[in-house]
Amino acid sequence: MSAGRVVIGTRGSALARWQADHVAEELRRAHPGLLVEQQIIVTEGDRFQSGPMVATAFGGKGLWVKEIEAALLDGRVDLAVHSLKDVPAELPAGLALVAFPRRADPRDALVSRDGSTLDRLVSGARVGTSSLRRVCQLRAARPDLRTEVMRGNVDTRLRKVAEGIVDAAVLACAGLDRLGFGDRIAERLALDRMVPSVGQGVLALEARVQDTRVVGLCAPLADEETTAAVAAERALLGRLGAGCRTPVAGHAVVSGGRITLHALVGRPDASTILRERMDGPVGDAVTLGVTVAERLLAQGGDRILAELEG
């Protein structure tokens, strides 16, 4: 491929296309004259959107990225743009996450048919989500609510709320904001009440390690604070070794040269929820993530993970 051209591999959902368009625009702004194209790639997760089984039964987070990573490895595309929360802790050999643009709102959002906040939902209200992390924390906050499995893209989930298939749903604020649905949010859930998924609100740019041209082109898009937060969160995830069958959450905040990491491991029924919070120097982000993970494991997280991840 010529020096002035970059092909981005992306899923075909409205949110994935928005993300790829946004990165393409930022690349063109940083490198005037650069030709940026896109190639839509259907992932295994896309094919299961309307299927009878949930993603956790088919290998977890890799469902959303495997085919795109294959296209990177065989040279069909030069760059992948992912939602970082969909990217497993371990990457295929030869690939790397080369830049993280500035993080969007990392919080979870409650969207309800009548505009109710989480505390004001009527007892027995049906709340849709496909995330065990959200199920666990919803049950802890409101054990009287009914959680129901809800899949599909953002617009599909919003439609299910509007049509009364569920009374409310929990989605990521970042996706709603990016697609112009921020006005549908009844409540942006506090970070200590609904700890986000590792990487939530962050775009991940993935490229071949040896492709120094593309790695260099992406460098101006990287945000320093986001990169440090991501280092802590993904170190946590990597040390826990969790897949999609265990409720795991982790969110880091950088301020004044310090980084604070809040993490959680629980059971889907909320019968056990382990929490840990630590802070340290920004330069020790990876060590912080590993230490927090080890504390959670020592509290009994190792038993939960062994039981649920099997």
Virtual torsion, Cα 60, 62, 65, 68, nearest 10 deg? -140
| DSSP label at residue 257 | T
Measuring CA to CA, how many Å separate 289 from each of 18, 26, 156, 194, 305?
30, 30, 35, 19, 17
Cβ–Cβ under 8 Å, residues 251 and 261: yes
CA distance 178 to 34: 24
**In 3D, which of 195, 23, 193, 170 has the Cα closest to residue 106?**
195
Is 86 assigned a catalytic role?
yes
Cβ–Cβ under 8 Å, residues 145 and 125: yes
CA distance 59 to 107: 25
Cβ–Cβ under 8 Å, residues 64 and 33: no
Choose, from 86, 108, 167, 211, the residue flagged as catalytic: 86
Virtual torsion, Cα 202, 259, 236, 244, nearest 10 deg? -40
Exposure pattern of 36-62 as b/e (b: 16+ CB <10 Å)? bebeebebebbebeeeeeebbeeebbb
CA distance 220 to 146: 45
β-partners of residue 266 are 273
Residues recognised as catalytic: 86
